[in-house]
Amino acid sequence: MKNNPIVSIISPSFNSENFILETIDSVIKQTFKDWELLIIDDGSDDNSVKIIQEIASNEKRIHLFILKKNCGPAYARNFGIQLAKGRYIAFLDSDDIWHPNKLEVQINYMDENNIPFSFTSYRKIDENGNIFGKLINAPEMLNYNDLLKSCTIGCLTVVYDQNMIGKQFMPNYPKTQDYALWLKIMKQGIIARGIDKELAYYRIRRSSISRNKFIKAYFQWKIYRRQEKLTLIKSIYFMMNYTLHGLLKLIR
């Protein structure tokens, strides 16, 4: 009987026919080979499912799960996490891509240093795959208070060790659910360890909700007040830090 894979990669997919091939290809080309890719189709109405099924028929490490209706990225990711068999949980959305050495560098680092949660530096790319902006560097470490000020952790770069911290699920928010999860983990006293190497590429799409800064700020405030239950004064303080950090990113 085959042993479970070392890494489970969680990939929610919604209408990603233009990008999913490149995303999957970046996983297949990983120098670290012991993985499973769990793709959760979140009610797509384009050709995404057909494309994924064709690839999965020739690659047994890829598993497709189809949701009957669109449930949102948090639900889709949690669906995948629940099914994940690997010791390590990694995240890669269906339009993002990884450097070929991403998993090898990250898993070796975590294994050698007994790290429960890590993330890496990354760059942004446009819909055509062109890099723009500066490298988003991963700081050496982040604790809970650091993360309250701003989130410099890209979801596509995160790996956590479920043997050390258990399976961790994302709060069901339509936006910033990944940030809400990082806070939940860090609040337990876990330190996020950064690897300052360019190992992932985050695609900015014209239709992406992440481009709406007002919506993102609204959910940031909601997390402070409803999830973390910060006082009004503390919420204002951290919101000011969040806003300042966002402004600095725009002018750098």
Beta strands in 43-191, from DSSP E residues, in sequence order: 62-66, 88-91, 97-98, 117-125, 131-136, 141-142, 159-161
Q: What are all long-range contacts of 228-232, with beta carbons under 8 Å and residues at least 24 apart? A: 228/148, 228/183, 228/187, 230/148
Q: How far apart are CA 26 and CA 17, in angstroms?
A: 15
pLDDT in tens, 75-89: 999 999 999 999 999
pLDDT in tens, 38-56: 999 999 999 999 999 999 9
Residue 160: name the closest of 200, 118, 189, 188 by CA. 118
Q: Name the nearest CA neighbour of 176 among 133, 227, 232.
A: 227
Lowest mean pLDDT among 73-77, 163-167, 178-182, 206-210: 206-210
Give the E-state strand segments of the chain in sequence order.
Answer: 7-13, 35-41, 62-66, 88-91, 97-98, 117-125, 131-136, 141-142, 159-161, 192-203
Inform me whether the pLDDT recorded for 210 exceeds 50: no
* pLDDT at residue 27 is higher than 80: yes
> Please, are residues 94 and 21 in contact by the beta-carbon 8 Å criterion?
no
* Residues in Cβ contact with 223 at an 8 Å cutoff, skipping those fewer than 6 apart: 173, 176, 179, 180, 183
Q: Give the whole-angstrom CA distance, residue 87 versus residue 38.
A: 14
Q: What is the pTM of this model?
A: 0.92
In order of their start, the domains of the chain are 7-206 (3.90.550.10)
Task: State the pLDDT confidence band at 155, using cuts at 50, 70 and 90.
Answer: very high
Q: Is the pLDDT of residue 18 over 80?
A: yes
How high does pLDDT run on average in the chain? 92
Residue 55, H or E segment: helix 48-56
pLDDT higher than 50, residue 218: yes
Q: Residue 241 and residue 238: Cα distance in Å, rounded?
A: 5
